[in-house]
Amino acid sequence: MTQTVGFDTLQIHAGARPDPATGARQVPIYQTTAYVFRDADHAAALFNLQEVGYIYSRLTNPTVAALGERLAALEGGAGAVCTSSGHAAQIMALYPLMGPGKNIVASTRLYGGTITQFTQVFKRFGWSTTFVDTDDLAAVEAAIDDNTRAIFCETIANPGGYVTDIPALAKIADRHGIPLVVDNTTATPYLANPIAMGATLVVHSTTKYLTGNGTVTGGAIIDSGTFNWSNGKFPSLSDPEPAYHGLKFHETFGALAYTFFGIAIGLRDLGMTMNPQAAHYTLMGIETLSLRMQKHVANAEKIAAWLENHPAVEAVTYPGLDSSPYKDRAARIVPKGAGALFTIALKGGYDACVRFVDSLELFSHVANLGDTRSLVIHSASTTHRQLSAEQQVAAGAAPNVVRLSIGTEEADDLIRDLDQALSASQG
């Protein structure tokens, strides 16, 4: 199914077709480890990447493949690779691009766990990260050197609600012959289409809005299919691959080279595989994605406006507010709404934040976002705890800041809960 049909149709039908064996209309959960080959020649052709098919569920699985097809359709990409988590998707996204001594340029305004991964885990691979304020385009350009292999950002930054100028970063990436990788988790493909704005790769934590019900973890990488991997900087995709008798992925698979590498090399060797049960839950969630995001956004707009006038609140970072410095950019990048994730700064600092979180009743205090339920967390003491004070402030997670993920409940009920907790926060 192609983009000739609308988003609401794609989110239900893309990747789904009646099961040929039973006629089942919903995508079945193919809970199997391995698949029977027709004969020895068939098996050899699959292992040589001469024929597309199923070998072993660490590599490919029909339920997971259906999810990948749906995500590629919604993001406007050529193909997708599904993984066990959003963090796995980030490593998998960069794995074909990087090598010892190589680096990426990344936004300072990223999820705390991503910053930790990019600073600590990358060292074990011999990779490095240069963090810059992506609002400063000159600084982004200046940070790129001969060993830079990607620019990484989030559409709407977690937790601060900063909106990234994706087209501007895409132009810089193009000038330097490197891909722009965009984490579209907080916006979802319903609110933003990074590939249409020039991004090469899109990553997701499917755990969040795509699934929407807080039941499973997962991740995905969607490839635009338009990047020239044979520009001399990405030997994993352009040069002969020893494990496949000298096969050249870009030369052989063209627009699907990155996707095939992600499965045939990435999942084969790293094993960060999504299980079919998780894929099934996410497929179910995506069927109502547009409906849920409309409600998420409507609630967030109403609640953020109310919070901005509360005497216990110093600041609200929701980019949909008229007072936000990102209001105009949000209208360009996320025209259907600025998402439902933002922070509030409380009068009374750290202690007030703790009292506020402990006093909420409808909001769940969890390390997650994008659920139908409204969620809250004090980032400085949890998700961003490993960062320095300077890094916390840069990421929008200062000690006096609380992150809110607005759900799909009645907005007035959420406002009443916030009001009583804000009163309690002030002692």
Q: Which CATH number fits domain 7-285: 3.40.640.10, 3.10.105.10, 3.40.1380.20, 3.40.190.150?
A: 3.40.640.10
C-alpha–C-alpha distance, residues 19 and 37, integer Å: 19
Model pLDDT, residue 384? 65
CA 295 to chain centre: 20
The position carrying tokens 């994993």 is 236
Architecture of domain 289-425: Alpha-Beta Complex (3.90)
Strand order in 103-107's β-sheet? 79-83, 219-223, 201-205, 180-183, 148-154, 103-107, 128-132
Q: Which two tokens stand for residue 198?
A: 């020039």
Q: How far is it between the farthest Cα atoms of the chain?
A: 74
Model pLDDT, residue 370? 96
Helix, strand, or coil (residue 174) = helix
Model pLDDT, residue 328? 97
User: Could you list the pLDDT tens digit for every one of the 427 residues in the chain?
Assistant: 555 899 999 999 999 989 888 999 999 999 999 999 999 999 999 999 999 999 999 999 999 999 999 999 999 999 999 999 999 999 999 999 999 999 999 999 998 889 999 999 999 999 999 999 999 999 999 999 999 999 999 999 998 889 999 999 999 999 999 999 999 999 999 999 999 999 999 999 999 999 999 999 999 999 999 999 999 999 999 999 999 999 999 999 999 999 999 999 999 999 999 999 999 999 999 999 999 999 999 999 999 999 999 999 999 999 999 999 999 999 999 999 999 999 999 999 989 999 999 999 999 999 999 999 999 999 877 766 667 777 777 667 788 999 999 999 999 999 999 999 999 999 8
The answer, as to whether pTM is greater than 0.85, is yes
DSSP β-bridge partners for residue 223: 79, 201
CA 416 to chain centre: 31
C-alpha–C-alpha distance, residues 271 and 407, integer Å: 33
E strand or H helix at 333: helix 327-333
Kindly list the domain boundaries of the chain, sorted by start residue: 7-285, 289-425
E strand or H helix at 291: helix 289-308
**Do 229 and 238 form a contact (C-beta atoms < 8 A)?**
yes
Model pLDDT, residue 383? 66
Model pLDDT, residue 380? 78
